[in-house]
């Protein structure tokens, strides 16, 4: 979901896709202002805000860097400034962007729940009736989406490195995840290297709207920490050996520990993953697109 939403924000903020992190934090704070039952609508005024200093502490960024990013979003018309901090700008010119973001997060979280329910051996008891609203889905989706901020901050990495690692981990096992036979075979174990795939870093960087030079620099740092493997001149993946690196459990397990309870919160309110098609607002979103070479298997060792 984090990767698919990164591609969404890259479309919404083509000038700087990583403004999506600050935008997501403010969108989470301002969600009650913008949601009314099953509608996303512009409020008359911004009632909620977050200070730039608090946001900087949450992101692990310097105050000046965070203030510069927020200033860009203010100049773009996405944020409004007040003595309390920054809010989503309650302007007519901003309404379409905010609606696209909220509904995009909503539908990507519904898709995540649908996929987890279908491909993982996890029980989600579904209550009778329906006691959840669109805002509740968006709220939990944003919580899951923003939680990795704490992960990469504590590990001393950054959002680009974390996004690259997550994308490579997804590409490596996508063929397993969506193959019914392989999914059942490796559902309770780590898929072996022979079924893992690699991807061109240049193609992956383009898919994530990251400059290639930046992606290359961060991939080398991840490789030095034993978190990814380069195969060939420009293809990268996450192999079994990378998954036993000292930091991987901190990267991968923490978001999962938050995701599953959030899904269960919804199913206990009557959200039925088997009826996900009924919940999409803008249609079932496609999987994150990593380009045509995403399914190439790495060569055998040696």
Out of 106-115, 225-234, 287-296, least confident range: 287-296
pLDDT at residue 69, as a whole number:
94
* CA angle, 241 then 242 then 246, to 5°: 105
Q: With cut-offs at 50, 70 and 90, classify the pLDDT of residue 252.
A: low
Q: With cut-offs at 50, 70 and 90, classify the pLDDT of residue 187.
A: low
Q: With cut-offs at 50, 70 and 90, classify the pLDDT of residue 246.
A: low
- Convert the pLDDT of each residue in 26-73 to its tens digit: 999 999 999 998 899 999 999 999 999 999 888 878 899 999 999 999
- Convert the pLDDT of each residue in 122-175 to its tens digit: 788 999 988 899 999 999 999 988 875 555 454 556 778 888 888 898 888 888
Q: pTM for the whole thing? A: 0.82
Q: Where are the domains of the chain?
A: 2-295
Q: With cut-offs at 50, 70 and 90, classify the pLDDT of residue 183.
A: confident
Which of the pair, 179 or 126, is modelled with greater confidence? 126
């Amino acid at each position: 979901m984090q990767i698919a939403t990164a591609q969404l924000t890259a479309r919404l903020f083509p000038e700087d896709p990583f403004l999506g992190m600050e935008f997501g934090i403010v969108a989470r704070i301002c969600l009650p202002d913008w949601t009314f039952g099953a509608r996303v609508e512009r409020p008359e005024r911004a009632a909620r805000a977050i200070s730039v200093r608090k946001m900087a502490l949450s992101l692990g960024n310097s105050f000046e860097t965070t203030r510069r990013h927020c200033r860009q979003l203010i100049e773009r018309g996405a944020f409004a400034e007040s003595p309390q901090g920054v809010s989503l700008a309650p302007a007519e010119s901003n309404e379409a962007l905010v609606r696209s973001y909220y509904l995009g997060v909503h539908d990507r979280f519904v898709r995540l729940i649908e996929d987890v329910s279908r491909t993982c051996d996890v029980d989600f008891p579904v209550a009778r009736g329906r006691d959840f609203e669109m805002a509740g889905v968006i709220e939990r989706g944003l919580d899951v989406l923003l939680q990795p901020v704490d992960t990469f901050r504590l590990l001393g990495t950054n959002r680009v490195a974390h996004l690259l690692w997550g994308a490579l981990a997804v590409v490596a096992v996508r063929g397993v995840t969506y193959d019914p036979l392989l999914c059942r075979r490796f559902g309770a174990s780590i898929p072996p290297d022979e079924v893992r795939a690699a991807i061109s870093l240049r193609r992956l960087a383009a898919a994530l709207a990251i400059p290639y030079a930046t992606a290359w620099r961060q991939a080398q740092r991840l490789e030095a920490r034993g978190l990814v493997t380069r195969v060939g001149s420009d293809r990268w993946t996450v192999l079994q050996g990378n998954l036993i690196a000292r930091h991987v459990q901190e990267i991968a397990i923490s978001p999962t520990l938050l995701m599953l309870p959030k899904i269960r919160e919804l199913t206990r309110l009557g959200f039925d993953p088997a009826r996900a098609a009924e919940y999409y607002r803008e249609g079932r979103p496609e999987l994150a697109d990593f380009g045509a070479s995403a399914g190439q298997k790495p060569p055998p060792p040696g």
